[in-house]
Amino acid sequence: MKVPFGTITISDLSKRLIEEILSTRRVSSGKYVRMLEEKFAGLVGAAEAVAVSSGTDALVLALATLHDFGASRGDEVIVPALSFVATGNAVLHAGFTPVFVDIRRDTLNIDPARIEEAITEKTRAIMPVHLMGKPADMDAISAIAARHGLTVIEDAAEAHGALYNGKPAGSLADLGAFSLYVAHIITSGEGGMVTAKREEYGDILRSLRSHGRTCSCKRCSLNTASGYCAKRFHGNGGEDVRFVFDRIGYSCKMNELEAAIGLGAFELYREILDKRRCNLLHVLDRFGRFSPFLATIREEPWERIGPHAIPVVVQEEASFSRAELTHFLEAHGIETRTLFASMPTQCAGFAYLGYTPGEFPNAEYMGANGIHIGVHQDLGRKEMDYVLATIAAFLETHQK
């Protein structure tokens, strides 16, 4: 049996929209991007949603808004040590310095008890990650942020469908950032989405995604059939508003073809979410039999995990290595991914920041001993039972 890690569902609606877009030749960001943004904002309960070209760009733009509110280049943003490397990269791309905090092993998320000791006079924001779709402890994080006057930005890349105290991921902080990469429930192939609590963020984000230009209307009349904008020329010299730049920006717009794929994913959102949750919970509910040699996360009463993948962590009691487990699963058709790494101490690109191995023991443990396995909509009970049976067979032959 084959259990691939990921998949993408491209609906008939997406195919029809793509044909229409190609026939009109209006492929740059336009009405379908706006439609996707409106649907995403409605789903999350955000005042604004701004589409960009990747989940990493969503993080970068969310962080870059801090410059409009008094932050300076080189200021600090607190992030968990364990995450996909985009989390740390985005902080640097936005002009800030990442300050890493260790995680809790039982949640895989940033440990709130360690955050305040990392806050300095240069700290401007905390960016928790809902790793594997499991919500971070947002009540504790928000309380810390309020005490110190900090912005909170959710890295919700993997948290499609996640709930925390009944509220969707992406609505729990000032800003949220989602990935719309192929592995996620709502996907545009490549793409990302920034969600915001306040409308004032929307103009800033739209400016940032288009080089920092003054032109930042939610609906751009230049993308309509008329192509006329009454605001386009202003000032004594008749400057073109598209060539007036208010801030340092980026070039990371989503195009219409990507939006068409995303709109089709929205059509199937509930169906895909339910399938993935059934797969995830089926495994999590039965994973205890592998204790104390293997561990995973659990869903608490106050949350709903966004069904991204099944994390599996080799425990100290095991007499086998992660490599042995990975090779066995892969040889039996089960595709795996490592459970990321401790960015400051296990990713060479961050070595210049001066952290040393041992500073983040929990994140480092995950980086050395964790994997994750897919739960996507093309899988079902049969495949999940096969995963469980294969792990059981591995333990029978490898655990002394």
Give the confidence band of 228 by pLDDT, cuts at 50, 70, 90.
low
CATH: 3.40.50.2300, 3.40.640.10, 3.40.50.800, 3.30.1440.10. Which one for 12-266? 3.40.640.10
Helix (H) or strand (E) holding 376: none
- Laid out side by side, the sheet with 336-338 consists of 294-295, 309-314, 370-374, 336-338
Length of the chain: 400
Give the confidence band of 230 by pLDDT, cuts at 50, 70, 90.
low
Question: Is a pLDDT exceeding 90 seen at residue 12?
Answer: yes
**Looking at per-residue confidence, does 17 or 229 come out higher?**
17
What pLDDT digit, counting tens, does each position of 328-364 carry?
999 999 999 999 999 999 999 999 999 999 999 999 9
Q: Say how many CA atoms lie within 13 Å of 191 toward its Cβ.
A: 29
CATH: 1.20.1260.10, 3.30.2420.10, 3.90.1150.10, 3.50.80.10. Which one for 269-398? 3.90.1150.10
What pLDDT digit, counting tens, does each position of 41-88 carry?
999 999 999 999 999 999 999 999 999 999 999 999 999 999 999 999
What pLDDT digit, counting tens, does each position of 159-182 carry?
999 999 999 999 999 999 999 999
Average pLDDT over every residue of 101-118: 98
- Laid out side by side, the sheet with 76-80 consists of 48-52, 192-196, 175-179, 151-155, 123-126, 76-80, 97-101
**pLDDT reported for residue 379:** 97
Provide, rounded to the nearest whole percent, the portion of the chain with pLDDT above 90: 88
For the chain, the maximum distance between any two Cα atoms, rounded to a whole number of angstroms, is 82
**pLDDT reported for residue 221:** 47
Residue spans of the domains in the chain: they are 12-266, 269-398
User: Rounded to 10 degrees, what is the CA torsion of 96, 84, 117, 349?
Assistant: -60
Q: Residue 241 in 3-state DSSP? A: helix
